[in-house]
Chains A and B, each alone.
Chain A
Amino acid sequence: DTAVSQTPKYLVTQMGNDKSIKCEQNLGHDTMYWYKQDSKKFLKIMFSYNNKELIINETVPNRFSPKSPDKAHLNLHINSLELGDSAVYFCASSLGQVTGNTIYFGEGSWLTVV
């Protein structure tokens, strides 16, 4: 059983398109995250939701919009894709807001914008 699962794993799309990445966790956690890993492997948080409520919204273009229909799911929608959006996007979850808790990552979604 995969604890944090993301789909799709690979996505190649043209500039200007709109795409979504879905994430689900079966760990019973109440906090979920989206992290972005750039080409130099630097990982940076984008968003965090706690019980469906947005609690962290880093300086991310408005083209990125997260949605959490319930505490087990956190999806990421990206409008008008740009070349610079090419990266690996990781979903993660934790029990509570990381303080004192381990964070678990999904396998990543490799996004390539051409």
Chain B
Amino acid sequence: GIQVEQSPPDLILQEGANSTLRCNFSDSVNNLQWFHQNPWGQLINLFYIPSGTKQNGRLSATTVATERYSLLYISSSQTTDSGVYFCAVLDRGSTLGRLYFGRGTQLTVWP
């Protein structure tokens, strides 16, 4: 199956700082999603972004499909941004809808 690598594995920030999380994938994809798992364990959709750029408030994401990576930007981070950020992809050859997840970036934002 497709390989998904996320970096960095851990990130510690002071409130107000900006950050960039990266997701590399080993094959062409036709679905890429970013999720936030909050400290209570809930998995929340952030972006559906197989290509291009999207913004939602302080968060934005860019996927460069031809170069097989996606970036998640968090600006002016807040303590509520803490948690694990996952990238998940569906490889282009798949007809069954099997999403492959990266191992996540654990973000801790201190006040």
Contacts and interface: CB of A to CB of B under 8 A. Distances in A.
Interface of A: 31, 40-45, 48, 50, 55-56, 58, 88, 90, 94, 96-105, 107-108, 110
5 contacts: A42-B101, A101-B31, A102-B45, A103-B99, A104-B45
Contacts of B94: 99
Task: Give the size category of B's interface with A.
Answer: 20 to 34
B34 to A, nearest CB: 11
Interface of B: 30-31, 33, 35, 37, 41-43, 45, 48, 84, 86, 88, 90, 94-99, 101, 103-104
> Which of B35, B45, B86, B96 has the largest count of A CB atoms less than 10 A from its CB?
B96
B45 A98 contact: no
A64 to B, nearest CB: 17
